[in-house]
Structure 1
């Protein structure tokens, strides 16, 4: 494929195996670590936050929901910024802003102030998820885009895992503020990696997009049932996934487990199942089609959720691994499909997927606390399984146009 330095029509994208292809994936790994380590680091230390700041579990979970809400409302504005100044420049601004706020957040003396900072941090982090997927579609050859997207999602799981594994043990040994600060330091290092290794963009061409045009495109996409069903996957599946992880720590602290927060954080190693599944599923799209893989992944997520009802720690861990693998497999399919299926405004479609993805995280991450307070872990499992079942039924009604060389 001809490549042109100015991103002209002759540009065909970096091919898998090239130096630039590898640099892009490593750079997005850094961005994924910086983003998702900060976004979800409080999840593993929610009991400590609740105890020290004297709030109940559902209110403590707002430290997650505030950030994901900020991210949700900012993804469309960030897509507009990225259309004008470029994907890489937008992501750099987002990462620096979020990291500065992340370094400040642990030292907030009041819970309400912490929520304000977390909301602003989420707004800054909104410049990564939707923009990163669009960036991949512009810089990576079309034949390898699904694999690259799966690899990027795998990188985000590493970020989410790192944030939880670092914050919880340090917080358990010292204080939750020190644990959260350590994660922000990691994010600063990952941001530096992104700055240093990202190759010069070749596929980007500035768009004179306006707020009106972005809203018009987004409105048209929200009236397209073929796209709405994909946004719904993010909304429902992510909502259930976050609820499960938010309240699992509370469950493990109680009978019959009585596991300390630091030790319970090791269960977040289940995220590695998502690292593997998102990468594997991305590579199977051409052979099996997106719809089939989405439904199978969602069924696996439901099965894993039901396994966590057991009072055997071994089976709970197994269930968490299965749940996580299924969720990230479904997410890698749906997120890539949301961009590929949009005939116009792919950046806006990717941003809408992320908007509903994080709205789901915010809404059901909080509602899971109500289910936990009233019905315990079975209530959380019922909510998570129900959301995934609705997503699967809805997905079953959509067509699968994905064939090799034909992404509709």
Structure 2
């Protein structure tokens, strides 16, 4: 075999990894770019904070719903094209949000944005599992998850800074423009699918059977549960850390608290590293290590020292992205067929965990403040460890 072929193959793999990093960035920057703008919406449209939060919760709620449908649709229309159309459509809808003359139109645009964006996360995992060799899948999945972390961070931090310098409408419009460019960068880099087998038509019975098969799988439901539990713990930490740090003795401003999202940088690095480690060491040991890192960070946040609290949140972020990047790649490895259906079930569990456990964590905050939140999150995280240990004993790493 000539040496040119391996070089060509390595170049293709690098292009795929970079393209999926861009896809992750676009998706999560568009989802979370309204989070720092909620007070601006209250002022602009004369609404209360709970109503303002719909600009984010409608997007994530519609995203969770659309993931299942998008995974099924990709079996008929293909992976790469659907991801590109989803990114372009969502960026254009973000532009509509920036120009919306009324609150109702802004909410409609944000809800549609969530529906359209489902075409990226549900399909990205399947695309990687089909196009990357098993020995490189973990690293590629880690880079994709790193892109989601970077996008989530930029969508929260940069938008807030740009809004302060200009206006929230210019900030949202700028994000739309950036993500349009990112979408075309994805299209230029991502090779056409080589291992995808198209299934013409949209047969509901076929998709229901595929989902049912994955749910009856011996190990896959435990990975779906891993996404549910780990994301639930992670989102709960970020949801209620702000309440703690706004109050005395810290009395941080909203802008200062927003800077805490810069800890996502550590998540980006952890995602790529964890994927590479999983390729070499196996997946259960890396998930267990991620759990240990999360627990260490949780203990640190129990301190009254501000630097330890923020440092602990950074450590939790590292541990979470280790777990998530490995678990999401693991799904594609175990699902030998209908990978997009398996990916959509994992992501559905992931976003439902964010919604359900994130809200349930509020009861613990109300009843026992931060220590109770940590007990709740630590319990969820220990359950993830138990799952990884069981999968290791089952020899499915």
Mark yes or no: TM-score above 0.5: yes
Distance 1:269 1:50 in 2: 25
Instruction: Select which of 124, 129, 142 maps to 1:137.
Output: 129
Q: Does the CA contact (< 8 Å) of 1:243 and 1:364 recur in 2? A: yes
How many residues align? The count is: 393
The answer to whether the aligner puts 1:316 opposite 2:304 as a matched pair is no
The answer to whether the aligner puts 1:223 opposite 2:216 as a matched pair is yes
Distance 2:115 2:148 in 1: 18
The answer to whether the aligner puts 1:340 opposite 2:338 as a matched pair is no
Shift of 1:370: 4.9
Unaligned runs of 5+ in 1: 3-12
> Mean Cα displacement is larger for which, 240-249 or 212-221?
240-249
Q: 1:14 to 1:139 in 2, by over 3 A?
A: farther
Instruction: Select which of 150, 153, 157 maps to 1:158.
Output: 150
Aligned equivalent of 1:393: 386
Q: Does the CA contact (< 8 Å) of 2:291 and 2:385 recur in 1? A: yes
Distance 2:312 2:256 in 1: 18
Aligned equivalent of 1:213: 206
Q: TM-score, normalised by structure 2?
A: 0.88
Q: 1:14 to 1:337 in 2, by over 3 A?
A: farther
Match of 1:204, SS state, is coil
Distance 1:207 1:358 in 2: 27
The answer to whether the aligner puts 1:19 opposite 2:25 as a matched pair is no
Instruction: Select which of 113, 126, 151 maps to 1:121.
Output: 113
Aligned equivalent of 2:356: 363
RMSD of Structure 2 on Structure 1 (CA): 2.8
Aligned equivalent of 1:257: 250
Shift of 1:132: 0.9
Instruction: Select which of 90, 96, 106 maps to 1:98.
Output: 90
Instruction: Select which of 185, 198, 201 maps to 1:193.
Output: 185
The answer to whether the aligner puts 1:352 opposite 2:349 as a matched pair is no
Aligned equivalent of 1:275: 268
Q: Does the CA contact (< 8 Å) of 2:31 and 2:56 recur in 1? A: yes
Q: 1:56 to 1:29 in 2, by over 3 A?
A: same
Distance 2:382 2:374 in 1: 12
Q: 1:115 to 1:360 in 2, by over 3 A?
A: farther
Shift of 1:109: 5.8
Q: 1:315 to 1:343 in 2, by over 3 A?
A: same
Aligned equivalent of 1:148: 140
Distance 1:51 1:365 in 2: 26
Shift of 1:270: 0.7
**Higher-helix-fraction structure:** 2
Shift of 1:391: 2.6
Distance 1:289 1:51 in 2: 51
Shift of 1:176: 4.3
The answer to whether the aligner puts 1:266 opposite 2:259 as a matched pair is yes
Unaligned runs of 5+ in 2: none
Q: 1:307 to 1:115 in 2, by over 3 A?
A: farther
